[in-house]
C-alpha cells in the first residue's frame, strides 16, 4: 500500500472515529476486504429503522439511508463495471422491506428467513460468489450466523446492547461498529464509509450532482432490475 493510500485511509479512520464509530480491524484491512467484494446484504429491522412495530404499524426507512445505498451501488458499479448484487435479508415477512427493495430496484429480498446463513449459501450458489465477496450490514444476534461467514461485516450500534457489542468485538464477528444507531441514519454512515474506503466518494458525488452520462448509464441499468422476492420456504426447497 502506497504512502498516499495509507494517509488517505488514516483520514477516513479519523473522520468516522469522530462520530463514535469503532474499527474492530485496521482500516487498511477493511479496504482490502472491500476490494474483493461485489455484493452487499442488509438486515432490515434495527438497521434501516429502530425495529419498532405494532399491530397496525410497519417498520419504515429514511430517505438519507436510501440515498446512501444508491450512492454505494453507484460507486461499486463504477468499480466493478456492473451492478453489485444487493439484497435485504429479514427474519420477518416485511412488506416495507419489499416496497423499499422494489422502489430502489435491489436485486432481491429474503423475508421470513430463520437461518440467514442459508441465504448467504443461496446467494453464493446462484450468483457464483464466495462468502468473502459479500459485505454484510447487521445489528443483532439472529444476524450473526450470516455475518460470521461474510467477507466484510459492519454492525449498527445500539447503546442498549453493550454486552452484545462486547461479544461481537471480542470474537471478531464484525469489522466495524457504527457511531450512529438505527434511528440516526446508520445505513448512510456505513455507505459513506464504504465509499470512503473505495476512495471514490468525491467522484461519485460529482457525477451524481452533474447527473452526467456515466450516472445516467448506471441509473438505466439500475432501473432495469426486477427485484426477486424469496421466502424461507423458497430457500428450503433449494437445500
Q: For residues 54 and 218, which has the higher predicted lDDT (pLDDT)?
A: 218
Grid coordinates given for 219: 441509473
Residue the block writes with cell 473522520? 15
- What torsion, rounded to 10 degrees, do the Cα atoms 162, 163, 165, 167 define? 170
Neighbours of 205 (CB within 10 A): 14
Neighbours of 56 (CB within 10 A): 5
As a whole number, mean pLDDT of residues 24-34 equals 97
- Helix H or strand E segment including 178: strand 176-181
Q: What are phi and psi of 87, to 5 degrees?
A: -145, 155
Report the pLDDT value the prediction gives residue 36, as an integer from 0 to 100. 97
Residues 6+ apart with CB under 8 A from 169: 22, 24, 177
pLDDT of 236 over the 70 cut: no
Task: Give 162-216 pLDDT, tens digit per residue.
Answer: 999 999 999 999 999 999 998 899 999 999 999 999 999 999 999 999 999 999 9
Contact 203, 85 (CB under 8 A): no
Report the pLDDT value the prediction gives residue 60, as an integer from 0 to 100. 83
Edge to edge, the sheet with strand 134-138 lists 22-23, 176-181, 152-157, 134-138, 39-43, 85-89, 108-111, 228-231
Q: What mean pLDDT value characterizes the chain?
A: 93
Report the pLDDT value the prediction gives residue 23, as an integer from 0 to 100. 97
pLDDT of 84 over the 70 cut: yes
Which CATH number fits the domain that encloses residue 127? 3.40.50.1000
CA angle (217, 30, 167) in 5-degree steps:
125
Give this prediction's pTM.
0.94
Question: Could you give the residue ranges of the DSSP H alpha helices within 105-239?
Answer: 116-127, 144-149, 162-170, 186-198, 201-210, 213-223, 232-238
Grid coordinates given for 62: 429514511
Task: Give 39-82 pLDDT, tens digit per residue.
Answer: 999 999 999 997 776 555 567 889 999 999 999 999 999 999 99
Task: Give 3-17 pLDDT, tens digit per residue.
Answer: 889 999 999 999 999
- How many distinct structural domains can be found in the chain? 1
pLDDT of 239 over the 50 cut: no
Antiparallel, parallel or unpaired: β 152-157 and 134-138? parallel
CA distance to 72, 82, 168, 169, 224, per residue, from 214 (Å) = 15, 12, 39, 39, 16
Report the pLDDT value the prediction gives residue 238, as an integer from 0 to 100. 43
Grid coordinates given for 5: 493510500
CA atoms within 13 A on the CB side of 220: 7
Contact 62, 96 (CB under 8 A): no
Query: Domain range holding 171?
Result: 3-238
As a whole number, mean pLDDT of residues 121-126 equals 94
Under DSSP, the state recorded for 49 is B
Amino acid at each position: 500500500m502506497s504512502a498516499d493510500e495509507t494517509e488517505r485511509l488514516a483520514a477516513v479512520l479519523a473522520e468516522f472515529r469522530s462520530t463514535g464509530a469503532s474499527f474492530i480491524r485496521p482500516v487498511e484491512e477493511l479496504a482490502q476486504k472491500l476490494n474483493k467484494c461485489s455484493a452487499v446484504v442488509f438486515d432490515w429491522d434495527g438497521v434501516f429503522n429502530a425495529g419498532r412495530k405494532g399491530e397496525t404499524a410497519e417498520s419504515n426507512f429514511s430517505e438519507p439511508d436510501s440515498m446512501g445505498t444508491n450512492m454505494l451501488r453507484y460507486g461499486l458499479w463504477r468499480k466493478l463495471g456492473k451492478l453489485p448484487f444487493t439484497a435485504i435479508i429479514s427474519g420477518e415477512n416485511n412488506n416495507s422491506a419489499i416496497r423499499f427493495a422494489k422502489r430502489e430496484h435491489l436485486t432481491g429480498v429474503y423475508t421470513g428467513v430463520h437461518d440467514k446463513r442459508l441465504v448467504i449459501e443461496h446467494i453464493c450458489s446462484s450468483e457464483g460468489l464466495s462468502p468473502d465477496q459479500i459485505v454484510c450490514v447487521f445489528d443483532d444476534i439472529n444476524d450473526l450466523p450470516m455475518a460470521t461467514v461474510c467477507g466484510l461485516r459492519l454492525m449498527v450500534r445500539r447503546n442498549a446492547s453493550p454486552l452484545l457489542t462486547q461479544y461481537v468485538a471480542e470474537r471478531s464477528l464484525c469489522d466495524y461498529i457504527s457511531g450512529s444507531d438505527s434511528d440516526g441514519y446508520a445505513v448512510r454512515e456505513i455507505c459513506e464509509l464504504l465509499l470512503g474506503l473505495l476512495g471514490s466518494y468525491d467522484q461519485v458525488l460529482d457525477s451524481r450532482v452533474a447527473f452526467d452520462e456515466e450516472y445516467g448509464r448506471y441509473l438505466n441499468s439500475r432501473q432495469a432490475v426486477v427485484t426477486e422476492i424469496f421466502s424461507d420456504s423458497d430457500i428450503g426447497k433449494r437445500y
